Structure formats: C-alpha cells, structure tokens
Homo-oligomer: A and B are copies of this chain.
C-alpha cells in the first residue's frame, strides 16, 4: 500500500516521510522542484515532481492512499490559503476519488470544524480547512482527518491528548503530528475518523481509536 505524500517538503511532511520510510511504509514524496529531491534520495525515499497549483494527477498513479500535509498553516498569506489549503486539497480529494484510491489522510487543524470560534486572525485559514474537510467527508473516499492544535517545533514526546481539556494546553509539536500520521498510515482500519491532537500523556494507539 503506497502512500503519496502531498506537502512532503514541509516541516511535518519531511518528518513524516523519514519516520514512515524507516517503518517500512512504501511512500512517494511529491515535491515541487527537482532540487528538493536530494534530501529524499539521500534517505532512499521515492519522489515525484508535481505542482499542487498545476497538474499533479500523475503523482497519484500507482498509489493507494494520500497524505495531505501541504500548506504551512495560518501564517501563509490568504491567497495561498485559497490556492493550496482549499483548492489544492479539494482537487487532491477529487483526483484520488476518480482514481479509486483507498484512503485519504488529511492534516487539518483544531477549530476547523467551527472557524468562528478561532481567534479572529486565524478564521480565514480555518474557513479554508473547514471547506476542505467538508469536501473530503462528502467524497466517496474513506478518510482520516487529523486536527492538530497550535504547532510547535519541540522534539517528539510520542505522547498525545485528544482535546484541550485533557491536554491542559492547545499545543502539539510538528514532530508528534508526524508520528501520529505514521500511525494513521499504518492502521488501515482507521476509516472515516477524525481526531483532535495535542501533546499529552497517552500513546497514539490509545488516542486514535
């Protein structure tokens, strides 16, 4: 079961690729430019050059599932939010559905299910994630939606919580998100499931059930 990684060159994407490959998962990293290939080639990870803002359907050929972790979060400009987080995600879902892939794993965001509860400056970004998640739920594809809280650059703790009440905070490291994604990719039984993810005290298999 080969996984196409859209957003492979991002901060979560790279850590996910590294861990998934080490775990023996067949992955293909979608990169925008050929000069991004060295980092992956050096680790023995297959790459495909394709542009999420242009034609990328060929990148899915021969893959069985998609991890979508493109978009660098709420700090990119809203123009890119519309083109990448919204339209890129929707097209990826539609292409995966057309090609009959088996599963789509989306990295969304906490608060995406109710954008107007987010801090005001994050609302436009959350609106894009809301719409992309909604499109995925209504597609024919089995899906997993991960909704991490505020992303940090801390080291992985491999310990998680599912909500703010449990975590006592709203943060999760990108490293932990990457590990949760590896778990989701490996656990094929996870279908049509959604998880809010924060740094916490539990193992991932205990949280993502």
Contact = CB atoms under 8 A, between A and B. Distances in A.
A90 B124 contact: no
A127 B53 CA distance: 11
Contact of A130 (B79, B90, B115, B138): B90
Nearest to A84: B127
Identify the interface centre among A87, A123, A132: most chain B CB within 10 Å of its CB. Answer: A87
A83 B53 contact: no
A116 B82 contact: no
Contacts of A78: 77-79, 81-82, 124
A152 interface: no
Q: Is the interface of A mostly helix, strand, loop or mixed?
A: helix
Identify the interface centre among A77, A115, A127: most chain B CB within 10 Å of its CB. Answer: A127
Interface string A104-134: 0000000000011000000111011011101
A138 B138 CA distance: 8
A86 B82 CA distance: 9
A128 to B, nearest CB: 6
Nearest to A139: B138
Interface of A: 53-54, 77-79, 81-83, 86-87, 90, 115-116, 123-125, 127-128, 130-132, 134-135, 138
